[in-house]
Amino acid sequence: MAKEQRVVVTGMGVVSSVGIGCTSFFSSLIAGRSGIARITLYDPSPQAAQIAGEIKKYNPDNFFSRKVQRRLGRFSQFALIATREAIDMAQLNISSIDLARVGTLIGSGIGDFGMIEDQIRAFLDKGPGKMNPFTVPRVITNMASGSIAMEYGFTGPSFCTTSACASSSHAIATAYTYLKAGLADVIFAGGAESCVAPTSVESYHALRALSLRNDEPTRASRPFDKDRDGFVIAEGGAVLILETEDNARSRGAQILAEIAGIGMSCDAYHITASPPDGRGAAQAMNLALKDAGLAPQDIDYINAHGTATPINDPAETEAIKAVFKEHAYNIPVSSIKSMVGHSLGAAGAIEAVASICTIRENVIPPTINLDEPDPLCDLDYVPHVARHQQVNTVLSNSFGFGGQNCVLVFRGHEGA
């Protein structure tokens, strides 16, 4: 019987509202810089929610030919940009690896929502025969995975995980299980989302999920704050290169971190709301700790789901307290959604990059806009200012509509 493999991260890339590239991204986070602004992809004036975390000054011409752009959805573009950075960081020589042992697992909740909306409008306004022939391949959520595989010739497992805001964490968790089982040597795992479009924003507003602080965008996302009024929708993507430790060592790769454990659960409670006691989230956290062989006291920092919705933040707080007991008050917890916004299916992967950067830099990103904590949210949320301290192990939470929970544990590696 083959030995169970350890799973390590050797490269990563990110496209976010606070920066493209890991250095720009994490520098913005530790500076407490918000990427939230008034929507520019369309005129949001008729809508109640008019702000988002868009990719600033994004010009696809800087990354792709016009021919490629015609067939590649915006979310797939983000995934490919992040992949290129990850390959450079990992110093992965594509020509020297077994392409049949390389997989691509990229999660997405919606795909290219703007394209969906544009083509429905074209059909309704102009009738049959006028739709873009690339509509289907641009919008389907598995195309980010497929595009990466086709770009580099990877013929290992390739598919999309879709579980709302837990999508990309589930992609990373699934890749971890494949690698541990010896079913691949390398997997590109992460998520991508391009969801800033009128009907998408309006749909989330109809759920009363979005912040309406249009007059102060950078202060709109307020996780754990008494005056929070919802999340701020965002776009973006992130990709991590996961390898078996043996494979990484055999090619002399620098190891950035290890995925120590994963935990998954379902609330089985409500289509959009978490149970107030956070029991499903607590179950996933406990499973992740068990899988990692860690005690609650071993966790140095929790990267919270932290959406800034009235329901999520107290429920997540209760879940953390249920798992960590009194030690919960000793663990720094923060939400980068206060700066980046909520990129739905890409959020978990973007937060995974932040978690690994936290380990490598020993700097915990803050929760900005936390001016007056909700009395129900009484943990150490690292308000306003980044905190410099030793961090070796991070627990990262992702929870999605439908009650789907995924928790990842990252830790420093002796080969890092």
Burial 66-87, CB ≥16 within 10 A → b, else e: eeebeebbbbbbbbbbbbbbbb
Catalytic (active site) residue 388: no
Sequence-ordered list of residues with C-beta below 8 angstroms from that of 163, at least 6 positions apart, any chain? 107, 109, 170, 345, 400, 402, 404, 406
Q: Is 258 helix (H, G, I), strand (E, B) or coil?
A: strand
Q: How many helices (H) and strands (E) does the chain have?
A: 13, 15
Burial 89-105, CB ≥16 within 10 A → b, else e: bbebeeeebeeebbbbb
The H-or-E segment that residue 260 falls in is: strand 257-266
Longest dimension (CA), the chain: 64
State the number of CA atoms in the 13 A half-sphere of 416 facing the CB: 20
Catalytic: which of 305, 357, 377, 413? 305
333 Cα distance to chain centroid: 17
Token digits for 122? 């074209």
**C-alpha to C-alpha distance for 245 and 258, rounded to whole angstroms:** 9
The H-or-E segment that residue 238 falls in is: strand 236-244
Catalytic: which of 22, 170, 195, 342? 342
**C-alpha to C-alpha distance for 110 and 107, rounded to whole angstroms:** 10
Catalytic (active site) residue 266: no
Q: Are 38 and 391 in contact (CB under 8 A)?
A: no
Catalytic (active site) residue 165: yes
SS3 letters across 318-335: HHHHHHHHHHHHHCEEEC
Sequence-ordered list of residues with C-beta below 8 angstroms from that of 206, at least 6 positions apart, any chain? none
Beta strands 393-400 and 37-38, pairing class:
unpaired
For 276-403, where are the E strands, in sequence order? 301-303, 333-334, 363-364, 387-388, 393-400
DSSP state of 227: T
Known catalytic residues are: 165, 305, 342
